[in-house]
Structure 1
Amino acid sequence: MRWLGILGLVALSECIVIIPLMKMSTMQKTLKGKNLMNSFLEEHAYSLSQHSANDQKFSTHPLSNFKNIFYFGNISIGTPPQQFRVLFDTGSSDLWVSSVFCLDPGCGKHRLFNPRGSTTFQMTDRHMYFCNELGQIVGFFGRDIVQIGDLVIMNQTFALTYRQASKILPLLPFEGVLGLGYPSLATTGIIPVFDSLMLQKVISEPVFAFYLNNKKGYGSVVMLGGVDHSYYKGDLNWVPVPKCRYWQITVDRISVNGKVIGCSSRCQATLDTGTAFVHGPIRLITNIQRLIGARPYHGYQYSSISCRGSIGIPRVVFTINGIDYPMRTEDYIVSITSSLCFSAFLGGTEKVSKSETWILGDAFLKQYFLVFDRRNNRIGLAHAV
Protein backbone atom coordinates (compact mmCIF):
# COMPACT_ATOMS: atom_id res chain seq x y z
CA MET A 1 0.00 0.00 0.00
CA ARG A 2 1.31 3.43 -0.91
CA TRP A 3 -0.14 6.49 0.80
CA LEU A 4 -0.68 10.02 -0.50
CA GLY A 5 1.20 13.03 0.75
CA ILE A 6 -0.94 15.25 -1.43
CA LEU A 7 -3.42 16.17 1.30
CA GLY A 8 -2.28 19.55 2.52
CA LEU A 9 0.62 19.29 0.04
CA VAL A 10 2.71 17.54 2.69
CA ALA A 11 5.72 15.61 1.45
CA LEU A 12 6.84 12.83 3.76
CA SER A 13 10.41 11.61 3.86
CA GLU A 14 11.33 7.96 4.12
CA CYS A 15 11.26 6.57 7.65
CA ILE A 16 14.77 6.12 8.94
CA VAL A 17 14.22 6.42 12.69
CA ILE A 18 13.70 3.14 14.53
CA ILE A 19 11.32 3.41 17.47
CA PRO A 20 12.01 0.79 20.15
CA LEU A 21 9.08 -1.51 20.86
CA MET A 22 8.26 -1.70 24.55
CA LYS A 23 5.64 -3.51 26.55
CA MET A 24 3.00 -1.23 27.97
CA SER A 25 2.78 -1.67 31.73
CA THR A 26 -0.55 0.19 31.78
CA MET A 27 -2.10 -2.32 29.43
CA GLN A 28 -0.58 -5.25 31.25
CA LYS A 29 -2.04 -4.15 34.57
CA THR A 30 -5.41 -3.29 33.05
CA LEU A 31 -5.78 -6.62 31.32
CA LYS A 32 -3.94 -8.83 33.80
CA GLY A 33 -5.72 -12.11 34.24
CA LYS A 34 -7.22 -12.19 30.76
CA ASN A 35 -6.83 -15.64 29.21
CA LEU A 36 -5.01 -15.69 25.90
CA MET A 37 -6.09 -18.02 23.13
CA ASN A 38 -3.76 -21.05 23.12
CA SER A 39 -3.13 -21.00 19.38
CA PHE A 40 -4.33 -19.56 16.14
CA LEU A 41 -6.89 -21.39 14.03
CA GLU A 42 -5.10 -24.08 12.06
CA GLU A 43 -5.54 -24.06 8.35
CA HIS A 44 -8.10 -26.55 7.07
CA ALA A 45 -9.88 -27.25 3.83
CA TYR A 46 -12.90 -25.18 2.93
CA SER A 47 -15.75 -26.01 0.61
CA LEU A 48 -17.11 -23.54 -1.90
CA SER A 49 -20.75 -22.83 -2.58
CA GLN A 50 -22.42 -21.01 -5.43
CA HIS A 51 -23.24 -17.41 -4.64
CA SER A 52 -26.87 -16.38 -4.72
CA ALA A 53 -28.52 -13.10 -3.86
CA ASN A 54 -29.88 -14.60 -0.62
CA ASP A 55 -26.66 -16.28 0.47
CA GLN A 56 -26.10 -15.43 4.14
CA LYS A 57 -22.37 -16.06 3.72
CA PHE A 58 -22.00 -13.23 1.22
CA SER A 59 -21.88 -9.54 2.08
CA THR A 60 -22.02 -6.42 -0.07
CA HIS A 61 -20.54 -3.77 2.18
CA PRO A 62 -20.96 -0.03 1.39
CA LEU A 63 -17.90 2.22 1.02
CA SER A 64 -17.71 5.99 1.32
CA ASN A 65 -15.84 8.03 -1.27
CA PHE A 66 -13.57 10.81 0.01
CA LYS A 67 -12.64 13.24 -2.80
CA ASN A 68 -12.26 10.32 -5.24
CA ILE A 69 -9.02 9.53 -3.41
CA PHE A 70 -9.95 7.15 -0.59
CA TYR A 71 -12.70 4.53 -0.29
CA PHE A 72 -13.47 3.34 3.24
CA GLY A 73 -16.22 1.51 5.14
CA ASN A 74 -17.40 0.73 8.67
CA ILE A 75 -16.51 -2.31 10.74
CA SER A 76 -17.05 -3.04 14.43
CA ILE A 77 -14.73 -4.58 17.01
CA GLY A 78 -15.45 -5.94 20.49
CA THR A 79 -18.40 -6.61 22.81
CA PRO A 80 -20.37 -4.40 22.84
CA PRO A 81 -19.28 -3.40 19.32
CA GLN A 82 -17.14 -0.30 18.80
CA GLN A 83 -17.44 1.07 15.26
CA PHE A 84 -14.53 2.22 13.11
CA ARG A 85 -14.01 3.52 9.59
CA VAL A 86 -11.26 1.58 7.81
CA LEU A 87 -9.63 1.61 4.41
CA PHE A 88 -10.13 -1.75 2.64
CA ASP A 89 -6.63 -2.19 1.23
CA THR A 90 -5.45 -4.87 -1.20
CA GLY A 91 -1.86 -3.65 -0.76
CA SER A 92 -1.44 -4.79 2.86
CA SER A 93 -2.64 -7.68 5.02
CA ASP A 94 -2.92 -6.57 8.66
CA LEU A 95 -5.91 -4.96 10.39
CA TRP A 96 -5.11 -1.99 12.63
CA VAL A 97 -7.10 0.79 14.31
CA SER A 98 -6.23 3.74 16.53
CA SER A 99 -6.52 3.10 20.28
CA VAL A 100 -7.18 5.13 23.44
CA PHE A 101 -3.50 4.75 24.35
CA CYS A 102 -2.43 6.94 21.43
CA LEU A 103 -1.96 10.63 22.23
CA ASP A 104 -0.59 11.75 18.86
CA PRO A 105 -2.58 14.23 16.71
CA GLY A 106 -3.26 11.48 14.18
CA CYS A 107 -5.29 9.67 16.83
CA GLY A 108 -7.02 12.46 18.73
CA LYS A 109 -9.43 13.49 15.98
CA HIS A 110 -10.73 9.98 15.36
CA ARG A 111 -12.64 7.17 17.02
CA LEU A 112 -10.39 5.16 19.33
CA PHE A 113 -10.65 1.52 20.33
CA ASN A 114 -10.87 1.00 24.09
CA PRO A 115 -9.98 -2.60 25.02
CA ARG A 116 -11.31 -2.07 28.54
CA GLY A 117 -14.71 -1.42 26.96
CA SER A 118 -14.84 -4.89 25.39
CA THR A 119 -15.60 -8.00 27.44
CA THR A 120 -14.19 -10.25 24.71
CA PHE A 121 -10.82 -8.53 24.19
CA GLN A 122 -7.68 -10.63 24.68
CA MET A 123 -4.20 -9.17 24.77
CA THR A 124 -1.15 -10.76 23.11
CA ASP A 125 2.57 -10.18 23.63
CA ARG A 126 3.08 -9.21 19.97
CA HIS A 127 4.06 -5.71 18.84
CA MET A 128 3.46 -3.92 15.55
CA TYR A 129 5.61 -1.40 13.67
CA PHE A 130 4.83 0.11 10.26
CA CYS A 131 6.76 2.78 8.41
CA ASN A 132 5.46 4.07 5.07
CA GLU A 133 4.20 7.22 3.37
CA LEU A 134 1.60 7.49 6.11
CA GLY A 135 4.29 7.89 8.76
CA GLN A 136 5.46 5.79 11.68
CA ILE A 137 2.80 3.62 13.32
CA VAL A 138 3.56 1.62 16.44
CA GLY A 139 1.22 -0.57 18.44
CA PHE A 140 0.49 -4.01 19.85
CA PHE A 141 -1.71 -6.90 18.78
CA GLY A 142 -4.84 -8.12 20.51
CA ARG A 143 -7.76 -10.43 19.67
CA ASP A 144 -11.47 -9.73 19.62
CA ILE A 145 -14.67 -10.20 17.66
CA VAL A 146 -14.66 -8.32 14.34
CA GLN A 147 -17.85 -7.73 12.37
CA ILE A 148 -18.11 -6.55 8.75
CA GLY A 149 -21.76 -6.10 7.89
CA ASP A 150 -23.42 -9.43 8.70
CA LEU A 151 -20.11 -11.34 8.70
CA VAL A 152 -18.73 -12.09 12.17
CA ILE A 153 -15.15 -13.26 12.87
CA MET A 154 -14.22 -14.74 16.25
CA ASN A 155 -10.81 -14.16 17.87
CA GLN A 156 -9.47 -11.98 15.08
CA THR A 157 -5.96 -10.67 15.71
CA PHE A 158 -5.62 -6.95 15.01
CA ALA A 159 -3.27 -4.12 15.96
CA LEU A 160 -4.07 -1.24 18.33
CA THR A 161 -1.85 1.79 17.75
CA TYR A 162 -0.29 3.79 20.56
CA ARG A 163 2.01 5.91 18.40
CA GLN A 164 1.08 7.55 15.09
CA ALA A 165 3.79 9.99 14.02
CA SER A 166 2.08 11.39 10.94
CA LYS A 167 1.08 14.71 9.40
CA ILE A 168 -1.41 12.95 7.15
CA LEU A 169 -3.58 10.91 9.52
CA PRO A 170 -5.31 13.91 11.17
CA LEU A 171 -6.61 14.89 7.72
CA LEU A 172 -8.05 11.49 6.83
CA PRO A 173 -11.66 10.44 7.57
CA PHE A 174 -10.86 6.91 8.79
CA GLU A 175 -9.27 5.32 11.85
CA GLY A 176 -7.49 2.29 10.45
CA VAL A 177 -6.72 -0.11 7.63
CA LEU A 178 -8.13 -3.56 6.83
CA GLY A 179 -5.62 -5.38 4.65
CA LEU A 180 -6.83 -7.80 1.99
CA GLY A 181 -3.44 -8.90 0.69
CA TYR A 182 -2.02 -12.41 0.92
CA PRO A 183 -0.95 -13.87 4.33
CA SER A 184 2.73 -13.66 3.28
CA LEU A 185 2.40 -9.88 3.43
CA ALA A 186 1.06 -9.87 7.00
CA THR A 187 3.08 -9.56 10.19
CA THR A 188 4.66 -12.96 10.85
CA GLY A 189 2.22 -15.31 12.56
CA ILE A 190 -0.82 -13.05 12.11
CA ILE A 191 -3.84 -14.44 10.25
CA PRO A 192 -5.39 -11.72 8.06
CA VAL A 193 -9.10 -10.91 8.19
CA PHE A 194 -10.00 -12.53 4.87
CA ASP A 195 -8.16 -15.73 5.79
CA SER A 196 -10.14 -15.82 9.04
CA LEU A 197 -13.34 -15.48 7.03
CA MET A 198 -12.29 -18.51 5.01
CA LEU A 199 -10.96 -20.60 7.90
CA GLN A 200 -14.01 -20.01 10.07
CA LYS A 201 -16.28 -20.69 7.05
CA VAL A 202 -18.00 -17.36 7.46
CA ILE A 203 -18.11 -16.91 3.66
CA SER A 204 -19.16 -19.30 0.91
CA GLU A 205 -16.48 -18.55 -1.65
CA PRO A 206 -12.87 -17.38 -1.22
CA VAL A 207 -13.33 -14.28 -3.35
CA PHE A 208 -13.88 -10.57 -2.79
CA ALA A 209 -14.68 -7.79 -5.21
CA PHE A 210 -14.61 -3.98 -5.50
CA TYR A 211 -16.90 -1.50 -7.21
CA LEU A 212 -15.42 1.98 -6.76
CA ASN A 213 -17.94 4.55 -7.94
CA ASN A 214 -16.30 7.81 -8.99
CA LYS A 215 -19.53 9.51 -10.07
CA LYS A 216 -20.99 10.15 -6.62
CA GLY A 217 -19.86 10.37 -3.02
CA TYR A 218 -21.60 7.08 -2.33
CA GLY A 219 -22.48 3.85 -4.13
CA SER A 220 -19.09 2.14 -3.88
CA VAL A 221 -19.00 -1.34 -2.34
CA VAL A 222 -16.68 -4.16 -1.36
CA MET A 223 -18.11 -7.68 -1.70
CA LEU A 224 -16.89 -10.46 0.56
CA GLY A 225 -17.56 -14.13 -0.19
CA GLY A 226 -19.16 -13.76 -3.61
CA VAL A 227 -19.83 -11.55 -6.63
CA ASP A 228 -22.89 -9.51 -7.55
CA HIS A 229 -22.80 -9.60 -11.36
CA SER A 230 -25.11 -6.60 -11.73
CA TYR A 231 -22.18 -4.25 -11.03
CA TYR A 232 -20.37 -4.90 -14.32
CA LYS A 233 -21.05 -5.43 -18.00
CA GLY A 234 -19.53 -7.91 -20.40
CA ASP A 235 -17.29 -10.74 -19.27
CA LEU A 236 -14.62 -10.84 -16.59
CA ASN A 237 -11.10 -10.92 -17.99
CA TRP A 238 -9.20 -13.30 -15.70
CA VAL A 239 -5.52 -12.60 -15.16
CA PRO A 240 -3.26 -14.94 -13.12
CA VAL A 241 -1.36 -13.78 -10.02
CA PRO A 242 2.07 -15.43 -10.37
CA LYS A 243 3.29 -14.88 -6.80
CA CYS A 244 1.01 -15.00 -3.77
CA ARG A 245 2.13 -11.87 -1.95
CA TYR A 246 0.79 -8.73 -3.59
CA TRP A 247 -2.15 -8.81 -5.99
CA GLN A 248 0.29 -8.51 -8.86
CA ILE A 249 -0.35 -9.23 -12.54
CA THR A 250 1.45 -9.00 -15.87
CA VAL A 251 0.79 -5.98 -18.11
CA ASP A 252 1.37 -6.49 -21.84
CA ARG A 253 2.17 -2.86 -22.62
CA ILE A 254 1.30 0.78 -21.87
CA SER A 255 0.58 3.00 -24.85
CA VAL A 256 -0.51 6.49 -25.89
CA ASN A 257 -2.01 7.09 -29.33
CA GLY A 258 -0.96 3.60 -30.36
CA LYS A 259 2.69 4.16 -29.41
CA VAL A 260 4.17 1.97 -26.67
CA ILE A 261 5.52 4.17 -23.85
CA GLY A 262 5.94 1.56 -21.13
CA CYS A 263 6.10 -2.20 -20.56
CA SER A 264 7.66 -2.67 -23.98
CA SER A 265 8.68 -6.19 -22.97
CA ARG A 266 5.76 -6.75 -20.56
CA CYS A 267 6.00 -5.79 -16.89
CA GLN A 268 4.49 -6.38 -13.47
CA ALA A 269 1.79 -4.23 -11.85
CA THR A 270 0.14 -4.41 -8.44
CA LEU A 271 -3.58 -3.63 -8.14
CA ASP A 272 -3.77 -1.65 -4.92
CA THR A 273 -7.03 -0.19 -3.55
CA GLY A 274 -5.01 1.52 -0.78
CA THR A 275 -3.22 3.72 -3.33
CA ALA A 276 -4.93 6.66 -4.98
CA PHE A 277 -2.60 7.26 -7.93
CA VAL A 278 -0.73 5.29 -10.59
CA HIS A 279 2.96 4.81 -9.71
CA GLY A 280 5.66 3.87 -12.19
CA PRO A 281 9.35 4.36 -13.05
CA ILE A 282 10.29 8.05 -12.98
CA ARG A 283 11.62 8.10 -16.54
CA LEU A 284 8.37 6.70 -17.94
CA ILE A 285 6.09 8.80 -15.73
CA THR A 286 7.96 11.92 -16.85
CA ASN A 287 7.24 11.00 -20.45
CA ILE A 288 3.54 10.45 -19.68
CA GLN A 289 3.33 13.82 -17.90
CA ARG A 290 4.75 15.51 -20.99
CA LEU A 291 2.29 13.78 -23.31
CA ILE A 292 -0.76 14.74 -21.21
CA GLY A 293 0.41 18.31 -20.59
CA ALA A 294 1.27 18.02 -16.88
CA ARG A 295 4.02 20.18 -15.38
CA PRO A 296 6.11 19.92 -12.16
CA TYR A 297 4.53 21.79 -9.26
CA HIS A 298 6.89 24.01 -7.24
CA GLY A 299 9.35 21.28 -6.37
CA TYR A 300 6.77 18.74 -5.21
CA GLN A 301 6.70 15.21 -6.60
CA TYR A 302 3.27 15.93 -8.06
CA SER A 303 2.62 17.51 -11.47
CA SER A 304 -0.08 20.09 -12.03
CA ILE A 305 -2.50 19.80 -14.93
CA SER A 306 -5.38 21.87 -16.27
CA CYS A 307 -8.55 21.13 -14.29
CA ARG A 308 -10.58 21.27 -17.48
CA GLY A 309 -8.18 19.17 -19.44
CA SER A 310 -7.84 20.19 -23.05
CA ILE A 311 -8.97 18.99 -26.42
CA GLY A 312 -6.66 16.34 -27.77
CA ILE A 313 -5.23 15.09 -24.47
CA PRO A 314 -4.66 11.39 -25.17
CA ARG A 315 -5.78 8.38 -23.23
CA VAL A 316 -3.17 6.28 -21.47
CA VAL A 317 -3.95 2.65 -22.32
CA PHE A 318 -2.91 -0.35 -20.20
CA THR A 319 -3.17 -3.61 -22.15
CA ILE A 320 -3.71 -6.57 -19.82
CA ASN A 321 -4.10 -10.15 -21.06
CA GLY A 322 -4.78 -8.86 -24.55
CA ILE A 323 -7.51 -6.39 -23.55
CA ASP A 324 -7.13 -2.58 -23.51
CA TYR A 325 -7.96 -0.68 -20.31
CA PRO A 326 -7.75 3.07 -21.05
CA MET A 327 -7.43 5.90 -18.55
CA ARG A 328 -9.42 8.87 -19.81
CA THR A 329 -8.62 12.52 -19.12
CA GLU A 330 -11.17 12.65 -16.29
CA ASP A 331 -9.56 9.58 -14.73
CA TYR A 332 -6.09 11.05 -14.38
CA ILE A 333 -7.01 14.60 -13.32
CA VAL A 334 -7.27 14.89 -9.52
CA SER A 335 -8.98 18.06 -8.30
CA ILE A 336 -7.52 19.69 -5.18
CA THR A 337 -9.35 23.02 -5.50
CA SER A 338 -11.47 24.55 -8.26
CA SER A 339 -8.31 25.94 -9.85
CA LEU A 340 -5.63 23.45 -8.77
CA CYS A 341 -5.46 19.94 -10.18
CA PHE A 342 -2.77 17.27 -10.29
CA SER A 343 -1.96 14.41 -12.61
CA ALA A 344 -2.73 10.99 -11.15
CA PHE A 345 0.65 9.65 -12.28
CA LEU A 346 3.57 9.52 -9.84
CA GLY A 347 7.13 8.32 -10.35
CA GLY A 348 9.34 6.40 -8.03
CA THR A 349 8.99 2.59 -8.19
CA GLU A 350 12.66 2.17 -9.15
CA LYS A 351 13.37 2.34 -5.41
CA VAL A 352 11.33 -0.82 -4.97
CA SER A 353 12.68 -2.88 -7.86
CA LYS A 354 15.29 -2.60 -10.61
CA SER A 355 12.76 -4.05 -13.05
CA GLU A 356 9.90 -2.05 -14.52
CA THR A 357 7.10 -2.27 -11.98
CA TRP A 358 3.86 -0.31 -11.61
CA ILE A 359 1.24 0.22 -8.94
CA LEU A 360 -2.29 0.72 -10.26
CA GLY A 361 -4.26 2.65 -7.66
CA ASP A 362 -7.81 3.94 -7.50
CA ALA A 363 -7.35 6.44 -10.36
CA PHE A 364 -7.14 3.38 -12.62
CA LEU A 365 -9.22 0.88 -10.63
CA LYS A 366 -12.38 3.00 -10.21
CA GLN A 367 -13.27 2.52 -13.87
CA TYR A 368 -13.49 -1.24 -13.56
CA PHE A 369 -15.16 -3.97 -11.53
CA LEU A 370 -12.51 -6.09 -9.81
CA VAL A 371 -12.73 -9.66 -8.50
CA PHE A 372 -9.90 -11.07 -6.35
CA ASP A 373 -9.98 -14.89 -6.38
CA ARG A 374 -7.94 -16.53 -3.62
CA ARG A 375 -8.84 -20.08 -4.64
CA ASN A 376 -7.43 -19.77 -8.16
CA ASN A 377 -4.96 -16.92 -7.48
CA ARG A 378 -6.28 -14.64 -10.18
CA ILE A 379 -7.91 -11.24 -10.67
CA GLY A 380 -10.98 -10.63 -12.82
CA LEU A 381 -11.52 -7.27 -14.51
CA ALA A 382 -14.62 -6.00 -16.27
CA HIS A 383 -16.08 -2.63 -17.20
CA ALA A 384 -18.09 -1.24 -14.28
CA VAL A 385 -21.68 -0.15 -14.91
Structure 2
Amino acid sequence: MGRPSPAQYLYINGAIPEPVTSIKVPRLADGRNDGEVTFGSLDSTKYVADTLVTLSSDNSGYWRTTVDDVTVAGQSLATLTSKSVIFDTGTSFLNGPLNDVRNIYERIPGAVENPDDSFSIPCDTNAVVAFNFGGRSFAMDSRDLISYPLSTASNLCAATIGVNSGSPAYWTFGDSFLKNAYISYNEKAQTIQLAKLA
Protein backbone atom coordinates (compact mmCIF):
# COMPACT_ATOMS: atom_id res chain seq x y z
CA MET A 1 0.00 0.00 0.00
CA GLY A 2 1.34 3.41 -0.95
CA ARG A 3 1.93 6.29 1.38
CA PRO A 4 -0.91 8.79 1.85
CA SER A 5 -0.77 12.05 -0.05
CA PRO A 6 -0.19 15.21 2.02
CA ALA A 7 -3.93 15.97 1.94
CA GLN A 8 -4.83 12.41 2.99
CA TYR A 9 -2.31 12.54 5.84
CA LEU A 10 -3.64 15.86 7.11
CA TYR A 11 -7.25 14.63 6.79
CA ILE A 12 -6.60 11.32 8.59
CA ASN A 13 -4.98 13.22 11.44
CA GLY A 14 -7.83 15.70 11.75
CA ALA A 15 -5.89 18.75 10.59
CA ILE A 16 -8.18 19.55 7.66
CA PRO A 17 -11.93 18.91 7.11
CA GLU A 18 -11.60 17.27 3.67
CA PRO A 19 -8.73 15.61 1.74
CA VAL A 20 -8.62 18.49 -0.73
CA THR A 21 -5.64 20.04 -2.50
CA SER A 22 -6.22 23.33 -4.33
CA ILE A 23 -3.63 24.97 -6.54
CA LYS A 24 -2.98 28.35 -8.14
CA VAL A 25 -0.06 28.09 -10.57
CA PRO A 26 1.64 31.49 -11.04
CA ARG A 27 2.79 33.05 -14.29
CA LEU A 28 6.30 34.47 -13.94
CA ALA A 29 5.62 37.18 -16.51
CA ASP A 30 2.85 38.62 -14.32
CA GLY A 31 5.37 39.40 -11.58
CA ARG A 32 2.86 38.67 -8.80
CA ASN A 33 4.52 35.72 -7.07
CA ASP A 34 1.01 34.54 -6.21
CA GLY A 35 1.31 30.77 -6.57
CA GLU A 36 -0.36 28.83 -3.79
CA VAL A 37 -1.25 25.35 -2.55
CA THR A 38 -4.16 25.12 -0.10
CA PHE A 39 -4.98 21.95 1.81
CA GLY A 40 -8.48 21.18 3.06
CA SER A 41 -10.45 23.74 1.05
CA LEU A 42 -10.43 26.21 -1.84
CA ASP A 43 -9.06 29.73 -1.46
CA SER A 44 -12.01 31.89 -2.53
CA THR A 45 -9.73 34.88 -3.16
CA LYS A 46 -8.03 33.06 -6.04
CA TYR A 47 -11.01 32.25 -8.29
CA VAL A 48 -14.34 33.57 -9.58
CA ALA A 49 -17.00 31.65 -7.66
CA ASP A 50 -19.70 31.51 -10.33
CA THR A 51 -17.29 29.94 -12.84
CA LEU A 52 -16.55 26.89 -10.65
CA VAL A 53 -17.30 23.54 -12.29
CA THR A 54 -17.11 20.11 -10.66
CA LEU A 55 -15.89 17.19 -12.76
CA SER A 56 -15.93 13.50 -11.95
CA SER A 57 -12.55 11.80 -11.85
CA ASP A 58 -11.97 8.11 -12.29
CA ASN A 59 -10.05 6.27 -9.60
CA SER A 60 -7.11 5.37 -11.85
CA GLY A 61 -4.34 6.89 -9.74
CA TYR A 62 -4.34 9.99 -11.97
CA TRP A 63 -6.54 13.06 -11.87
CA ARG A 64 -8.37 12.05 -15.03
CA THR A 65 -11.57 13.50 -16.47
CA THR A 66 -12.94 14.44 -19.90
CA VAL A 67 -12.82 17.59 -22.00
CA ASP A 68 -16.03 18.53 -23.82
CA ASP A 69 -14.58 20.59 -26.66
CA VAL A 70 -11.56 22.51 -27.91
CA THR A 71 -11.89 25.81 -29.75
CA VAL A 72 -9.46 28.08 -31.57
CA ALA A 73 -10.65 31.66 -32.11
CA GLY A 74 -14.09 30.43 -31.07
CA GLN A 75 -14.19 27.69 -33.72
CA SER A 76 -14.77 24.18 -32.42
CA LEU A 77 -12.48 21.35 -33.49
CA ALA A 78 -15.76 19.38 -33.67
CA THR A 79 -14.23 15.92 -33.48
CA LEU A 80 -11.52 14.90 -31.04
CA THR A 81 -9.40 11.75 -31.22
CA SER A 82 -9.67 11.56 -27.43
CA LYS A 83 -11.55 13.46 -24.73
CA SER A 84 -9.62 11.80 -21.90
CA VAL A 85 -7.62 14.33 -19.86
CA ILE A 86 -5.09 13.99 -17.05
CA PHE A 87 -4.25 17.10 -15.00
CA ASP A 88 -0.63 17.15 -13.86
CA THR A 89 1.02 20.09 -12.11
CA GLY A 90 4.35 18.26 -12.53
CA THR A 91 4.15 18.66 -16.32
CA SER A 92 5.20 21.95 -17.88
CA PHE A 93 3.27 21.82 -21.14
CA LEU A 94 -0.03 20.58 -22.55
CA ASN A 95 0.12 17.49 -24.73
CA GLY A 96 -2.56 15.78 -26.78
CA PRO A 97 -3.14 13.28 -29.60
CA LEU A 98 -1.30 14.21 -32.80
CA ASN A 99 -4.38 14.76 -34.97
CA ASP A 100 -6.08 16.94 -32.37
CA VAL A 101 -2.93 19.01 -31.80
CA ARG A 102 -2.42 19.34 -35.56
CA ASN A 103 -6.02 20.59 -35.90
CA ILE A 104 -5.32 23.27 -33.29
CA TYR A 105 -2.26 24.57 -35.12
CA GLU A 106 -3.97 24.49 -38.51
CA ARG A 107 -6.20 27.23 -37.10
CA ILE A 108 -3.34 29.40 -35.78
CA PRO A 109 -1.93 31.73 -38.46
CA GLY A 110 1.76 31.17 -39.11
CA ALA A 111 2.01 27.88 -37.17
CA VAL A 112 4.50 25.33 -38.53
CA GLU A 113 4.59 21.56 -38.03
CA ASN A 114 8.16 20.33 -37.66
CA PRO A 115 9.46 16.94 -38.90
CA ASP A 116 9.59 15.60 -35.32
CA ASP A 117 5.85 16.32 -34.77
CA SER A 118 6.61 19.39 -32.66
CA PHE A 119 5.12 22.74 -33.62
CA SER A 120 6.30 26.33 -33.87
CA ILE A 121 4.13 29.43 -33.78
CA PRO A 122 4.76 33.15 -34.26
CA CYS A 123 6.24 34.62 -31.09
CA ASP A 124 3.72 37.47 -31.24
CA THR A 125 0.68 35.23 -31.69
CA ASN A 126 -2.59 36.38 -30.17
CA ALA A 127 -4.34 33.08 -30.82
CA VAL A 128 -7.10 32.10 -28.41
CA VAL A 129 -7.13 28.38 -27.64
CA ALA A 130 -9.83 27.31 -25.18
CA PHE A 131 -10.92 24.05 -23.60
CA ASN A 132 -14.47 23.37 -22.45
CA PHE A 133 -15.00 21.50 -19.19
CA GLY A 134 -18.41 21.02 -17.59
CA GLY A 135 -19.99 23.53 -19.96
CA ARG A 136 -17.45 26.25 -19.12
CA SER A 137 -14.78 27.50 -21.52
CA PHE A 138 -11.25 28.01 -20.16
CA ALA A 139 -9.08 30.02 -22.54
CA MET A 140 -5.29 30.01 -22.48
CA ASP A 141 -3.49 33.34 -22.43
CA SER A 142 -1.63 33.52 -25.75
CA ARG A 143 1.63 34.02 -23.79
CA ASP A 144 1.21 30.49 -22.46
CA LEU A 145 1.22 29.05 -25.97
CA ILE A 146 4.87 30.09 -26.39
CA SER A 147 7.95 28.45 -24.88
CA TYR A 148 11.09 30.15 -26.28
CA PRO A 149 12.32 31.81 -29.49
CA LEU A 150 13.81 29.39 -32.00
CA SER A 151 16.22 31.87 -33.56
CA THR A 152 16.92 35.57 -33.91
CA ALA A 153 16.37 35.27 -37.67
CA SER A 154 12.71 34.28 -37.43
CA ASN A 155 9.64 35.27 -35.48
CA LEU A 156 8.95 31.65 -34.56
CA CYS A 157 8.82 30.26 -31.05
CA ALA A 158 8.56 26.70 -29.78
CA ALA A 159 4.95 25.98 -28.89
CA THR A 160 3.74 24.63 -25.56
CA ILE A 161 0.92 22.45 -26.90
CA GLY A 162 2.69 19.29 -27.99
CA VAL A 163 2.02 15.70 -28.94
CA ASN A 164 1.34 12.97 -26.41
CA SER A 165 2.52 9.69 -27.87
CA GLY A 166 0.80 7.60 -25.19
CA SER A 167 -1.53 4.76 -26.09
CA PRO A 168 -4.45 4.85 -25.79
CA ALA A 169 -4.55 8.49 -26.82
CA TYR A 170 -5.17 11.07 -24.09
CA TRP A 171 -4.41 14.67 -23.12
CA THR A 172 -2.03 15.79 -20.37
CA PHE A 173 -2.79 19.27 -19.06
CA GLY A 174 0.28 20.73 -17.41
CA ASP A 175 1.26 24.18 -16.23
CA SER A 176 0.87 26.00 -19.56
CA PHE A 177 -2.88 25.42 -19.15
CA LEU A 178 -3.02 25.52 -15.34
CA LYS A 179 -1.66 29.09 -15.25
CA ASN A 180 -5.10 29.98 -16.61
CA ALA A 181 -7.37 28.24 -14.10
CA TYR A 182 -7.73 27.48 -10.41
CA ILE A 183 -7.80 23.72 -9.78
CA SER A 184 -8.84 21.66 -6.78
CA TYR A 185 -8.65 17.90 -6.22
CA ASN A 186 -10.94 16.15 -3.72
CA GLU A 187 -9.61 12.70 -2.84
CA LYS A 188 -12.72 11.69 -0.90
CA ALA A 189 -15.30 12.70 -3.50
CA GLN A 190 -13.01 11.80 -6.44
CA THR A 191 -13.74 15.12 -8.10
CA ILE A 192 -11.78 17.86 -9.83
CA GLN A 193 -12.95 21.46 -9.63
CA LEU A 194 -11.89 24.14 -12.09
CA ALA A 195 -12.63 27.86 -12.02
CA LYS A 196 -11.51 31.01 -13.75
CA LEU A 197 -8.91 33.04 -11.90
CA ALA A 198 -9.87 36.08 -9.85
Instruction: Give the TM-score, by structure 2 length.
Output: 0.83
Render the CA deviation track for 1:282-331: whole Å, top value 9, x for unaligned. 1221222232232245x55532222222xxx5422211111111223222
Aligned pair count?
Answer: 190
Q: One-letter code of the match for 1:222?
A: V
Q: Is the 8 A contact 1:367 1:384 kept in 2?
A: yes
- Superposed, 1:263-342 pairs within 5 Å as 263-264=79-80, 267-292=83-108, 293-297=110-114, 299-309=115-125, 313-335=126-148, 339=152, 341-342=157-158
- For structure 1, the 5+ residue unaligned runs are 1-188
Distance 2:32 2:158 in 1: 20
Verify: 1:252 aligned to 2:68, yes or no: yes
Q: Is the 8 A contact 1:333 1:343 kept in 2?
A: yes
Post-superposition offset of 1:268: 1.3
1:192 maps onto 2:192 in alignment: no
Residue 366 of structure 1: which of 174, 179, 182 is its match?
179
For the 8 Å contact 1:244–1:377, the answer to whether it is kept is no
Three-state SS of the structure 2 residue aligned to 1:326 is strand
Q: Report % sequence identity.
A: 27
What does residue range 150-165 of structure 1 map to in structure 2 within 5 Å?
A: none
Give the aligned residue type for 2:135: G
> Is the CA contact 2:71–2:130 (under 8 Å) kept in the aligned structure 1?
yes
Shift of 1:342: 1.3
Q: Deviations over 1:108-166 (max 9, x none)?
A: xxxxxxxxxxxxxxxxxxxxxxxxxxxxxxxxxxxxxxxxxxxxxxxxxxxxxxxxxxx
Which residue of structure 2 aligns with residue 65 of structure 1? none
CA drift of 1:264 comes to 4.4
Name the structure 1 match of 2:45.
Answer: 230
Higher Rg of the two aligned structures:
1
Pairs within 5 Å for 1:1-385: 189-194=1-6, 195-214=8-27, 215-216=30-31, 218-235=33-50, 236-261=52-77, 263-264=79-80, 267-292=83-108, 293-297=110-114, 299-309=115-125, 313-335=126-148, 339=152, 341-349=157-165, 351-353=166-168, 356-385=169-198
SS at match of 1:305: strand
Distance in structure 2 (CA, Å) of the matches to 1:381 and 1:323: 9
In 2, Cα distance between equivalents of 1:241 and 1:198:
20
Structure 1 counterpart of 2:2, one-letter code: I
What is the rounded CA distance, in whole Å, between the counterparts of 1:321 and 1:224 in structure 2?
A: 24
Q: Secondary structure at the match of 1:196?
A: helix
Partner of 1:319, secondary structure, is strand
Query: Of the two structures, which has the highest relative contact order with CA contacts closer than 8 Å and spacing of 6 or more?
Result: 2
Q: Indicate if the aligned counterparts of 2:81 and 2:97 stay in contact, CA closer than 8 A.
A: no
Question: 1:199, CA displacement in angstroms?
Answer: 2.5
Q: Secondary structure at the match of 2:188?
A: coil
The 1:251–1:263 alpha-carbon spacing in structure 2 relative to 1, beyond 3 Å, is farther
In 1, the alpha carbon distance for the partners of 2:35 and 2:22 equals: 11
Tell me how far 1:193 sits from its aligned partner: 3.0
Is the deviation greater in 256-265 or in 237-246? 256-265
